[in-house]
């Protein structure tokens, strides 16, 4: 494991009541007696970075903890983009994985657990793993790139404790005491702790599960005939044409939730046979089973993971081969996500799988009846639900700082985030008994379709709430507006994210006064005639339009706040914004969209400016 350097260390545990315990560590012996409740604790003196150390704990049993390093421990938390593992980005970063020989970088992954009823004393079982090419695949990608940058700069052991759960809102990570500052969540917490209400919730959830099970019983024609549709002996007589990638709702199938089969015949050259192959089927909404020449090569049960299936060496044959994909979709637009990788590769050769396929509907699900909102209850989405299980047991463990990557789950109510994120920071600093505990967080990246006219955006509003949180002392924000993907809420570029988070840590946690740790951050605006002059912090060695050319994604408005695109130019590290058709401008927005394509204001250090609006200042 890794223990925090430069601070007194808390060591605690459980035993039989009043049990005598002896601890030997770093040449010293500590003797103590557990309380009547079996709890015990001891404070160890501060140590400098180093190790490895050995710890022996003796009572009625004996425990030896080997390979203890003293360094910097970072508590990394949030939702899926914080926990997204290196395995998911292995094609993007093969060299980083192959060269991940960092025995002094350690990761502790906390399994997901939730409970609104009580604060837990201990974590679910887990273990520390060191960074090597095998273990690294389980590390969170953003946190690994963060840790490796810090390690390569400071050469001290780095411990990552990753407590993250996909799709969860910030309020689930705040304690009851922290929630008390947020009236709307105080009432919600009281509601979900009412036994009568929770009995009604359990009935509603049970009814929803029963309904879902009934409507998805296997009635798939593709599996019920004498020859299943994935079999090479099956003859696809009157199947329909489909252009892959794409969604079936855009290609002639309206309002269908159910099972749709897709089929393509390909010609494989002899040079690709007799060796292992790999099939890339992009991303599929929602679930799939994929077959090559009648053999199941892989399946994924939900939409987000990339489909990367290993094909056995003996399966491909020279000449005609058949790929069949069975897709199950329960809501929204089913099909194959555009702008992803769709190809078969073997022996250094690729076959592009985009283009003409055939499809046939195997099953149509019954329309979904009314689902009571209460039926979607989940403790991991409720106030305190994750704090109680995945944070509270750790607040005595000394840490260097906190890394936070979350926000997607709160974009439906972005204004609330202006209070929620500062409340989380204050709450955790109180729990860790450190009012200046460094807090470094990622701003939401670009996502969803590009809009080519100025528009409103909940994602932009949440980024603005994150930007405003910089007013909280000893915080730093990594801007990621260029690190997203329009078609994927889990973008692969985790290296830029992790390294930008590390820059923030270098500034606020390591006191590096010389590091340029952020892209430009809006400071003030001044109206001068028909122009608005913008001033920025964090300009580094100067403002630039990345890629040259004109600045993009600036919009301007008058008193009516009806935004139109604006001209913008850099003068003396300020940005001048105007539109010749607007004589009396008052407000400016930059990169104010879900996916502000072409946003190109950076500093010379290559860090992007944060999106912002002046109309809420």
pLDDT tens for each residue of 456-475: 999 999 999 999 999 999 99
Mean pLDDT, range 373-391, rounded to an integer: 91
Measured torsion, CA atoms of residues 466, 469, 473, 479, in degrees rounded to the nearest 10: 20
Q: What is the pLDDT of residue 615?
A: 93
Q: What is the pLDDT of residue 216?
A: 55
The answer to whether 581 and 555 have CB atoms below 8 angstroms apart is: no
Q: What is the pLDDT of residue 575?
A: 98
- Whether residue 617 has pLDDT greater than 70: no
Q: Are strands 258-268 and 319-329 parallel, antiparallel or unpaired?
A: antiparallel
Query: For residues 497-515, b (16+ Cβ closer than 10 Å) or e, as one string?
Result: bbbbbbbbbbbbbbeeeeb
Q: In Å, what is the CA distance from 456 to each residue of 264, 350, 536, 590, 595?
A: 42, 42, 23, 12, 11
Q: What is the pLDDT of residue 280?
A: 98
Alpha-carbon distance 167 to 150, whole Å?
A: 28
Which two structure tokens, joined as six digits, stand for 507? 């500034």
Q: So what's the architecture of 221-364 in CATH?
A: Sandwich (2.60)
Which one, of 420, 348, 350, 343, lies nearest residue 387 by Cα?
A: 420
Average pLDDT, the chain: 95
Query: For residues 425-460, b (16+ Cβ closer than 10 Å) or e, as one string?
Result: bbbbbebbebeebbbbbbbbbbbbeeeeebeebebb
Alpha-carbon distance 504 to 403, whole Å?
A: 10
Which two structure tokens, joined as six digits, stand for 132? 């090597």
Range with the poorest average pLDDT among 173-187, 191-205, 339-353: 191-205
Alpha-carbon distance 267 to 588, whole Å?
A: 56
Using pLDDT thresholds of 50, 70 and 90, give the confidence band for residue 215: low
Burial class, 547, CB count within 10 angstroms (exposed 0-12 / middle 13-18 / buried 19+)? exposed
Which one, of 91, 67, 201, lies nearest residue 141 by Cα?
A: 91
Express each pLDDT in 561-595 by its tens digit. Answer: 999 999 999 999 999 999 999 999 999 999 999 99
Q: What is the pLDDT of residue 499?
A: 98
Contact residues for 328 (Cβ-Cβ < 8 A; gap 6+):
258, 259, 286, 287, 288
Q: What is the pLDDT of residue 206?
A: 84
pTM: 0.94
Which one, of 468, 479, 607, 476, lies nearest residue 542 by Cα?
A: 607
Express each pLDDT in 401-444 by its tens digit. Answer: 999 999 999 999 999 999 999 999 999 999 999 999 999 999 99
For tokens 């580094």, what's the residue? 540
Give residue 448's Cα distance to chain centre: 16
Express each pLDDT in 476-489 by its tens digit. Answer: 999 999 999 999 99
Which one, of 601, 559, 560, lies nearest residue 577 by Cα?
A: 601
Express each pLDDT in 133-177 by its tens digit. Answer: 999 999 999 999 999 999 999 999 999 999 999 999 999 999 999
Please give the residue that has the higher pLDDT: either 589 or 211: 589
Mean pLDDT, range 273-297, rounded to an integer: 97
Q: What is the pLDDT of residue 374?
A: 73
The answer to whether 602 and 516 have CB atoms below 8 angstroms apart is: no
- Whether residue 375 has pLDDT greater than 80: no
- Domain limits, the chain: 71-175+385-508, 184-216+370-380, 221-364, 521-607
Q: In Å, what is the CA distance from 296 to each residue of 107, 279, 318, 330?
A: 34, 12, 19, 22
Mean pLDDT, range 47-76, rounded to an integer: 97
For tokens 């938390």, what's the residue? 77
Using pLDDT thresholds of 50, 70 and 90, give the confidence band for residue 218: low
Q: What is the pLDDT of residue 602?
A: 98
Alpha-carbon distance 423 to 454, whole Å?
A: 32
Express each pLDDT in 505-559 by its tens digit. Answer: 999 999 999 999 999 999 999 999 999 999 999 999 999 999 988 999 999 999 9
Query: CA Rg, the chain, in Å?
Result: 27
Mean pLDDT, range 611-616, rounded to an integer: 95
Measured torsion, CA atoms of residues 579, 583, 589, 592, in degrees rounded to the nearest 10: -60
Express each pLDDT in 364-374 by its tens digit. Answer: 988 766 656 67
Superfamily assignment of 71-175+385-508 in CATH? SGNH hydrolase (3.40.50.1110)
Which one, of 25, 102, 10, lies nearest residue 58 by Cα?
A: 25
Length of the chain counted residue by residue:
617
């Amino acid at each position: 494991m890794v223990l925090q350097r430069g601070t007194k260390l808390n060591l605690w545990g459980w035993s039989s009541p009043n049990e005598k315990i002896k601890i030997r560590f770093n040449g010293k012996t500590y003797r103590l007696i557990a309380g009547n409740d079996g709890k015990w604790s001891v404070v160890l003196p501060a140590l400098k970075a180093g190790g490895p150390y050995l710890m022996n704990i003796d009572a009625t049993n004996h425990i030896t903890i080997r390979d203890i390093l003293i360094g910097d421990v970072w508590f990394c938390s949030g939702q899926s983009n914080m926990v997204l593992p290196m395995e998911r980005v292995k094609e993007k970063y093969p060299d980083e994985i192959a060269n991940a020989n960092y025995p002094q970088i350690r990761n502790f992954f906390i399994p997901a657990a939730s409970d609104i009823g009580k604060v837990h004393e201990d974590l679910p079982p887990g273990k520390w793993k060191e960074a090597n090419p095998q273990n690294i695949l389980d590390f969170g990608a953003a946190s690994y790139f963060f840790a490796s940058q810090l390690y390569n700069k400071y050469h001290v052991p780095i411990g990552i404790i990753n407590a993250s759960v996909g799709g969860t809102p910030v309020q689930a990570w705040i304690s009851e005491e922290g929630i008390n500052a947020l009236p709307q969540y105080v009432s919600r917490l009281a509601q979900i702790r009412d036994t009568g209400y929770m009995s009604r919730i359990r009935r509603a959830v049970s009814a929803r599960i029963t309904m879902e099970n009934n409507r998805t019983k296997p009635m798939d024609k593709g599996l019920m005939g004498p020859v299943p549709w994935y079999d090479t002996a099956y003859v696809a007589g009157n199947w329909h044409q489909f252009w892959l990638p794409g969604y079936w709702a855009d290609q002639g199938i309206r309002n269908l939730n159910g099972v749709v089969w897709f089929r393509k015949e390909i010609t494989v050259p002899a040079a690709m046979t007799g060796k292992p192959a790999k099939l890339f089927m992009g991303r599929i909404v929602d679930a799939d089973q994929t077959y090559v020449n009648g053999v199941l090569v892989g399946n994924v049960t939900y939409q987000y993971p990339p489909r990367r299936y290993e094909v056995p060496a003996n399966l491909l044959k020279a000449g005609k081969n058949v790929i069949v994909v069975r897709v199950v979709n329960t809501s929204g637009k089913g099909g194959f996500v555009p702008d992803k990788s769709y190809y078969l590769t073997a022996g250094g050769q690729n076959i592009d799988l985009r283009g003409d396929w055939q499809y046939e509907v195997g099953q149509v699900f019954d329309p979904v009846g009314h689902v009571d909102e209460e039926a979607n209850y989940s403790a991991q989405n409720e106030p305190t639900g994750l704090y109680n299980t995945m944070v509270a047991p750790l607040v005595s463990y000394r840490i260097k700082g906190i890394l936070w990557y979350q926000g997607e789950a709160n974009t439906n109510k972005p204004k609330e985030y202006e209070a929620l994120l500062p409340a989380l920071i204050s709450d955790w600093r109180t729990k860790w008994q450190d009012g200046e505990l460094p807090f470094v967080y990622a701003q939401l990246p670009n996502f969803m379709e590009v809009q080519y006219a100025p528009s409103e955006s909940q994602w932009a509003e949440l980024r603005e709430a994150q930007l405003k949180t910089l007013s909280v002392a000893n915080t730093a924000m990594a801007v990621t507006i260029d690190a997203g993907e329009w078609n994927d809420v889990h973008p692969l570029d985790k290296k830029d994210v992790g390294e930008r988070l590390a820059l923030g840590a270098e500034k606020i946690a390591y006191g590096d006064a010389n590091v340029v740790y952020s892209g430009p951050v809006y400071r003030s605006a001044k109206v001068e005639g028909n122009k608005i002059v913008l001033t920025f912090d964090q300009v580094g060695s100067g403002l630039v339009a990345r890629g040259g050319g004109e600045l993009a994604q600036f919009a301007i408005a008058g008193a009516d706040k009806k935004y139109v695109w604006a001209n913008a130019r850099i003068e003396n590290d300020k940005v001048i914004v105007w539109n010749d058709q607007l004589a009396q401008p008052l407000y400016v927005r930059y990169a104010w969209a879900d996916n502000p394509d072409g946003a190109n204001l950076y500093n010379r250090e290559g860090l992007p400016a944060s999106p912002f609006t002046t109309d809420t200042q």
